A and B are shown apart, each in its own frame.
Chain A
Amino acid sequence: MSLFQYRLSELHNLLHDSKISVSELTEESLSAVARLDGDIHAFLTLNEEGAKSAARQLDDKLASGAPRGLLFGIPAGVKDNIVTKGLRTTCASRFLDNYQPIYDATVAAKLRQADAVTIGKLNMDEFAMGGSNENSAYGAVRNPWDLERVPGGSSGGSAAAVAAGEVFFALGSDTGGSIRQPASYCGVVGLKPTYGLVSRYGLVAFASSLDQIGPLTRTVEDSAYVLQAIAGYDPQDSTSAKVDIPDYLGALTGDVKGLRIAVPKEYVGEGVDASVRDTVLAALKVLEDLGAVWEEVSLPHTEYAVATYYLLASSEASSNLARFDGVRFGVRVDDGSGLLDLYHNSRSQGFGPEVKRRIMLGTYALSSGYYDAYYLKAQKVRTLIKQDFDEVFKKYDVVIGPTAPTTAFKLGSQTEDPLTMYLNDILTIPVNLAGIPAVSIPCGFAEGLPVGLQIIGKEFDERTVLRVAHAYEQHTDHHKQRPQL
């Protein structure tokens, strides 16, 4: 029987009782990658020897009776925009094809401190720009539920690896929905924490005011475990929040009696597939039966979120990616005609089309004469979007809706039209603009494909978000469904 049927807490018990060893668990993960990843293509770099060596050390630690970390012995994958010392980190870009980081991102160090085993680095949209994972320079990831469909992006490799049963959890990053949307498409749990709760030190920046690292797992309880291990103030990240980290596992009471839920009419209206809407309404009925109450509300500036996001994210991206110039790391294309041409040639050959498109858009929005009309305007509309949430949270505990307007679409079906692709993120983007937490959990299937339920909370109120998600999960079995591979 596969060990992938177990939750992290169950694996801990099995390890504690010596029914399995960390080496066996790691071997289970590595053999699953060997068996499945030819079809899924979730991994860009496999850390086979490193993982086996770490597993042996952890087995010794177990035998010695030394205290064990929160993620003791658990094989994990890490999105390839999180730097890992000595382990190739490419951001799925040709630009960083051979990049060997000289330090660990804070989250990578925290995984090690928590005794997790890093199996490898996971595929993604290049520099985390995309909603389908078709923008990887190394080829698209495929959805384990239907290999002809996208896994979602940009943490598509992270979601697919967890859904396929290649790793027990993964880390992703979420700038406009890049953890939650692939979690929804792949039928796993994806948590975007409050901005500043998890350190971004060592995350290759895309849009610095929006990016946030979070876990992709198979259950809400597993998500709470990983969040507990990676959350916390980091003096190396100037945007890190100085807040006390609560007990996330203790929040999983299963009780939602009296909980007040807001359902924005904009999240279940036009543009959302009827099958997705019906699945989400059925999920609300489950919470209602558990004693929660829900009402329809309005987040009136939702329709402006995508435009706001693409102006802000592209502007920040154009600035962040200016450091990729072929001088200190990455691709260098020198045709002998001087330094300026070295910059131009290296960037032109190192970056893929979506990255170039966003750099161009951002450079335009920040350029002389357009700054006020585009960038400043978008920052002001961001305030209005945040105020929408502030207003709703005066009366309600959580906001609930679908994670994405549709289920996973077919590979190649939207690549010609970036605007349509961008609109897939309409239900996740407002959360990043407001900086608040949200989780996507499996809530059913539409035509055989997973549908995600998005639960959004007040800032730093991950406990309530996880409590509601866990309560729902305890009374349904969607999260136990596995793709046939």
Chain B
Amino acid sequence: MSITVKDVQHVAKLARLHLSPEEEALFTEQMNAILQYAEKLGSLNTDDVPPTTHVLHVSNVMREDVVKESITVEEALLNAPDEEDGQFKVPAVLD
């Protein structure tokens, strides 16, 4: 199986990236090479093998529900590219 420029354009849309035509061509070639290499995993029979999502045996990790100070609005907005009235400002999504 090989990846086409059209596939790369679709994945870029999912990944919220604009790619130049040069980047599309380069990524098509490089992703094909990498995925072709990854095909070697297909030669292993893993029918009865459980997946490892995490190496530690921890699950449902919870902290005590304790009320404490949170960060201030000023701190939250310290790195905001744009803000107004204590909120992050973004372009309108509705007319």
A-to-B contact residues, CB < 8 Å: 98-100, 102-103, 195-196, 209, 235, 238-239, 241, 301, 303-304, 306-308, 310-311, 318, 322, 325-332, 334, 336, 338-340, 342-345, 347-348, 351, 353, 356-357, 359-361, 363-364, 367, 373-374, 376-384, 386, 418-419, 422, 433-435, 459
Q: Is B67 an interface residue (CB 8 A)?
A: no
* A435→B18 CA distance, assembly (Å): 35
Q: From residue B29, how far is it (CB to closest CB) to chain A in Å?
A: 10
- Shortest C-beta distance, B35 to chain A (Å), equals 8
Most buried by A among B27, B40, B51: B51
Task: Tell me which residues across on chain A come within 8 A of B40, comparing CB atoms.
Answer: 303-304, 307
B11 in the interface, Cβ–Cβ < 8 Å?
yes
With beta carbons under 8 angstroms apart, the residue of B18, B41, B78, B79 that contacts A308 is B41
Known: A330-B81, A332-B81, A435-B55. A381 touches B88 (CB 8 A): no
Name the residue on A nearest B40 (C-beta). Answer: A307
Supplied contacts A241-B58, A357-B27, 20 more A-B pairs, CB within 8 Å: A196-B56, A239-B58, A241-B56, A311-B41, A322-B16, A327-B81, A327-B90, A329-B81, A334-B91, A339-B92, A348-B17, A373-B42, A374-B38, A378-B41, A380-B49, A381-B41, A381-B49, A384-B49, A418-B34, A422-B34
B contact patch SS:
loop
Neighbouring A residues of B91 by C-beta, 8 Å: 334, 336, 338-339, 342
CA distance in complex: A328, B90 (Å): 10
Tell me the complex Cα distance, A301–B80, Å: 46
What's the Cα separation between A451 and B76 when bound, in Å?
Answer: 46
* B25 sits at the interface (CB 8 A): no
Given that A329-B80, A363-B11 are contacting pairs, would A345 and B58 also be in contact in the complex, using a CB cutoff of 8 Å?
no
Interface positions, chain B 17-67, Cβ under 8 Å from A, are 17-19, 23, 27, 30-31, 33-35, 37-38, 40-42, 44, 46, 49-56, 58, 61, 63
Question: Given A327-B88, A332-B81, A384-B49: A347 and B17 within 8 A (CB)?
Answer: yes
When distances are taken between beta carbons in the complex, the residues of chain A under 8 Å from B41 are: 304, 307-308, 311, 377-378, 381
The residue from A99, A364, A386 contacting B79, defined by CB atoms under 8 A apart: A99
Contacts of B16 in A (CB 8 A): 322, 325, 340, 343-344, 347
Distance between Cα atoms of A29 and B45 in the complex (Å) = 54
Contact residue among A196, A209, A383 (Cβ-Cβ distance under 8 Å from B50)? A383
Interface residues of B (CB under 8 A from A): 3, 7-8, 11-12, 14-19, 23, 27, 30-31, 33-35, 37-38, 40-42, 44, 46, 49-56, 58, 61, 63, 71, 75-76, 78-82, 88, 90-93
Q: How far is the CA of A348 from the CA of B18 in the complex (A)?
A: 6
Complex: how many Å from CA A322 to CA B17? 11
The residue in chain A whose Cβ has the minimal distance to the Cβ of B63 is: A235
Q: Are the C-beta atoms of A318 and B15 separated by less than 8 Å?
A: yes
In the complex, which residues of chain B have a beta carbon less than 8 angstroms from the beta carbon of A418? 30, 33-34
Q: Which residues of B contact A311 (CB under 8 A)?
A: 38, 41
B7 to chain A, nearest CB (A): 8
In order of increasing CB-CB distance, the 4 nearest A-B pairs are A435-B55, A379-B51, A332-B81, A329-B79
A334 to B92, CA, bound (A): 12
Nearest CB on B from A386, distance (A): 6
Contact B56 A435 (CB under 8 A): yes
Q: How far is the CA of A342 from the CA of B88 in the complex (A)?
A: 14
Q: Are A307 and B37 in contact, CB atoms less than 8 angstroms apart?
A: yes
User: Smallest Cβ distance from B37 to chain A, in angstroms?
Assistant: 6
CB distance from B26 to the nearest CB of A (A): 8
Does B53 contact A209, Cβ atoms closer than 8 Å? yes
Question: Which B residues are in CB contact (< 8 Å) with A344?
Answer: 16-18
CB distance from B81 to the nearest CB of A (A): 4
User: Which residues in A have their C-beta under 8 angstroms from that of B55?
Assistant: 195-196, 209, 386, 434-435, 459
- Chain A residues lying within 8 Å of B92, measured Cβ to Cβ, are 338-339
- CB neighbours of A306 from chain B (8 A): 37
> Is there an interface contact between B61 and A238, defined as CB atoms closer than 8 Å?
yes
B44 touches A381 (CB 8 A): yes
Known contacts A310-B34, A348-B17, A360-B31; is A326 also within 8 Å of B81 by CB?
yes
A338-B91, A384-B46 known; A330+B79 contact, CB < 8 A: yes
Q: How far is the CB of A20 from chain B (nearest CB, A)?
A: 38
Least Cβ–Cβ distance between A190 and chain B, in angstroms: 20
Q: Which of A98, A339, A386 contacts B52, CB < 8 Å?
A: A386
- Choose one: B35, B46, B52; the contact of A377 (CB below 8 Å): B46
Some 23 contacts from A to B, beta carbons below 8 A apart, are A99-B79, A102-B75, A196-B58, A209-B53, A235-B63, A239-B58, A307-B37, A328-B88, A329-B81, A339-B90, A343-B16, A348-B18, A360-B8, A360-B12, A364-B35, A376-B51, A377-B46, A379-B51, A380-B52, A383-B51, A384-B49, A418-B34, A435-B55
